Amino acid sequence: MQALYCLQCGTSLSQKFLHGRTRRYCPHCGWIHYINPLPVALAVVMNSDNEILLVKRGEAPKVGKWCFPCGYMEGDEFPETAALRELKEETGLCGTINRFLTVIGSHSELTPGQNVVIQAYYITVNDFSLLKAGDDAQDAAFFPITDYPALAFEAHTEILRTFKKILQI
CB-based contact 59:138 (threshold 8 Å): no
Return d(Cα 86, Cα 82) in angstroms, integer.
6
Question: Minimal CA–CA distance to 54: which of 4, 84, 91, 101?
Answer: 91
> Do residue 145 and residue 126 come from a single domain?
yes
> Do residue 77 and residue 47 come from a single domain?
yes
> Do residue 148 and residue 73 come from a single domain?
yes
CA torsion sign for 129, 133, 135, 137 is positive
> Do residue 17 and residue 86 come from a single domain?
no
| Confidence class for position 15, pLDDT limits 50, 70, 90 | very high
Question: Minimal CA–CA distance to 52: which of 13, 91, 110?
Answer: 91
Report pLDDT digits (tens) over 117-160: 999 999 999 999 999 999 889 999 999 999 999 999 999 999 99
Report pLDDT digits (tens) over 72-82: 999 999 999 99
Is 20 a residue whose pLDDT tops 80?
Answer: yes
Domain total for the chain? Answer: 2
Is 90 a residue whose pLDDT tops 90?
Answer: yes
Contacts of 7 (CB under 8 A, 6+ apart): 31, 33
CB-based contact 142:129 (threshold 8 Å): no
> Do residue 94 and residue 136 come from a single domain?
yes
Burial (CB < 10 A; 0-12, 13-18, 19+), residue 131, is middle
Which domain does 1 fall in, by range?
1-35
